[in-house]
Structure 1
Amino acid sequence: MNKIIAFVVAFVVVVLVASSAVFVVDPRHVAVVSASGGANATLAGPGLHVKLPPPFQTATLIDTRIQAFDAPDADRYTTADKTELLVNPVVRYRVADPLKLFAATKGDPQALADKLAPLSRDALSSAFSKVDLSDALAQQEAIANGARDALKAAAAPLGIDVVDIELTRIDYPAALAEVVYKRMSAAREQAAADQRAKGAAEAQKIKDEAERQQQAALADANSQAQAIKGEGDGKAAAIAAQAYGRDPDFYRFYQSMQAYRESFKPGDVVVVDSSSDFFRFMRSPNGEAQPAPAAAAPRKH
């Protein structure tokens, strides 16, 4: 009976030792196999592996997927214009060098979080200190990218690669919210006034240019009109001269008719000497002067 019990105990011990010496790594992890105290660490990829049973060797699984780290509470960050903001960042990273990570944290996730938190805060503090409040609210992606690049360099000795930083919240402390809102409102009103003034100046400039072009066009049109009128007058004079040469009597008659029309308007009353040469065409169709009446012969007494 004692032999059977001893055999069973020995069998159980062998099974336990064998099970502790064999381990499986899935594709989402790698294993760091190390001796007591973390010495002589080596990597084991996905698959079935054998190691010495504890305490001679231990296998620590390291997750190689993208992971997220976020602080439980919002941190305060100060902008270039000395405004405090409450910010909740989320840091996404993957393990790039499992051996470095194991050397820095012994595979403890909490130890990694404790080391990553101050590095993340320093990177974000530097990024926010370079911009004022308005840029901090309008350029969140650029600030996050700048902090990510800084954190990537700082976290490289931990064996991790920072993939992204997301700012899930940017807010004001309650005591500063009203002051900040008033300052932002005043800044927006000033920007609107500047834009209106700029628009009015541009409108006046366009109006002045349009008036200048109008004056230039009118001057050019008047010049062309005078030139055309002069050319027409010249042609009219030439035609008149030609007509006068052909029939001087008709030309004189036509000119007198024009003079009558210009001189006498409807309703006008004119007292003139009818014997005036101006009215010769009214006295004779051909404008010939009427002979003066003969003087009366002197009476003889």
Structure 2
Amino acid sequence: MGRAIYVLPALILVLVAALSSVFIVDEREKALVLQFGQVKAVREEPGLGFKLPLVQEVVRYDGRILSLQTQPLEVTPADDRRLIVDAFARWRITDLVEFRESVGNGGIPVAQARLERIMTAAIRQVLGGVNSDRVLSEDRIPLMVQIRDIARQQSQSLGVEIIDVRLTRTDLPQQNLAATYARMRAERQREAADEIARGNEAAQRIRATADREVVEVTSKANADADVIRGQADAERNRILAEAYNRDAEFFAFSRSLEAYRTALTQQGKSIVLTPESDFFRYLGSPEAAAPAAP
């Protein structure tokens, strides 16, 4: 009975020691086994692990990809236009031992603070060497790649890897917005004036071409009309000549009647002729109008 009293507490102590020597690593975690602050084992795979009770301790770290949002910072690109920039980074722990030696007991919060300083320096270095138009454009991937590479190189000593960097905001300070909008409006007005000037120049060229074509078409039409009139006059003269050759007296009579009509229908004009004038040849007696016998 007396021995049972001592055996039970011993069994309890053994059970407690056994339970305290076992630990479980979750699939989302990585763990270090420390003994008096020194790393004794590294567990990166999920499952059961063992440690010396009361002597060793287990320190757990998040093994997933972590995110880091930087505070808004003001940068000055190469053209001296100030910008407000926010960045977002994704990173993960790659070397637990080096990470522990770098951040100590601070863990991930200390690493986040140091990574933010590294990110801020990389952003200032990259964006300070380009113009603000490139930073404000939609195609900023090359700039983000440069920032990631610089930050990745400088963070290797922390035992971490920066996977990706994104510029989430690149805006002008509020006091510069009005001046920027005014400059943009002036540029658009200048472009509009240039377009209007080019349009007027093109319109003048089109009008000049149209006027030249009108002159050319009119000249050609007049030339064709002159040719047609000449042909018509020639045909008329030919017909008159044939008619005159057929009956000279009738042709003379017709011409006299046309002359009478023209002369006698004009108003406000007077004709002074002698009665014996040849103009009145066909207004006299038929005998007078008849041609003299040979």
Instruction: Compute the TM-score of the two structures, normalised by the length of structure 2.
Output: 0.71
The equivalent residue for 2:201 is 205
2:77 aligned to 74, 79, 102, which one? Answer: 79
Whichever residue aligns with residue 120 of structure 1, its letter is M
Tell me the CA shift for residue 147 of structure 1.
3.0
Deviations 1:68-88 (A, max 9, x none): 2234x5333233344444444
Against the structure 1 CA distance between its residues 113 and 231, is the aligned structure 2 distance closer, same or farther, given a 3 Å change threshold? same
2:51 partner SS: coil
Matches within 5 A, 1:28-107: 28-32=28-32, 37-39=37-39, 41-46=41-46, 48-53=47-52, 58-71=57-70, 73-96=71-94, 98=96, 101-102=99-100, 104-105=102-103
Identify the residue that residue 231 of structure 2 maps to in structure 1: 235
Closer, same or farther in 2 for the Cα pair 1:193/1:282, shift >3 Å?
farther
From the superposition, tell whether residues 140 and 114 of structure 1 become closer, same or farther in structure 2 (CA, over 3 Å): farther
Question: Cα distance, 1:89 vs. partner?
Answer: 3.1
Letter in 1 for 2:270: V
Matches within 5 A, 1:162-173: 162-168=163-169, 170=171, 172=173
State percent identity of aligned pairs.
19
Counterpart of 1:123 in structure 2: which amino acid? Answer: A
The Cα shift of 1:119 comes to 0.9
Aligned with residue 217 of structure 1, among 205, 213, 217? 213
Residue 19 (structure 1) shift: 2.7
Structure 2 vs 1, CA of residues 279 and 94 (structure 1 numbering), >3 Å: closer, same or farther? farther
Is 1:22 aligned to 2:18, yes or no?
Answer: no
Tell me which residue corresponds to 1:298: none
Shift of residue 274 of structure 1? Answer: 4.8
The answer to whether the 8 Å contact 1:89/1:167 transfers is: yes
Partner in structure 1 of residue 9 of structure 2? 9
Summarize deviations over 1:179-235 as a string: whole Å, max 9, x none: x24422441242133113212211221112211221232133123313421342243
**SS of match in other structure, 2:123:** helix
Unmatched runs of 5 consecutive residues or more in structure 1: 292-301
**In structure 2, what residue type is equivalent to 1:150?**
I
1:194 aligns to 2:190 (yes or no): yes
How many Å separate the matches in 1 of 2:92 and 2:11?
42
Q: How far 1:103 sits from its partner (Å)?
A: 5.2
Q: Alignment length, in residue pairs?
A: 279
Quote the Cα distance in structure 1 between the aligned partners of 2:165 and 2:6.
Answer: 59
Q: Which amino acid aligns with 1:147?
A: I
- Quote how far apart the aligned CAs of 1:49 are: 2.4
Q: Which residue of 2 aligns with 1:120?
A: 119
RMSD: 4.2
| AA partner of residue 91 (structure 2) | Y
Specify the alignment match of 1:295 in structure 2: none
Rounded Cα–Cα distance in structure 2 between residues aligned with 1:255 and 1:99: 132
| Residues 270 and 87 of structure 1: CA distance in aligned 2, closer, same or farther (over 3 Å) | same
> Closer, same or farther in 2 for the Cα pair 1:11/1:171, shift >3 Å?
farther
Per the alignment, do residues 65 and 273 of structure 1 end up closer, same or farther by CA in structure 2, a change over 3 Å counting? farther
SS at match of 2:150: helix
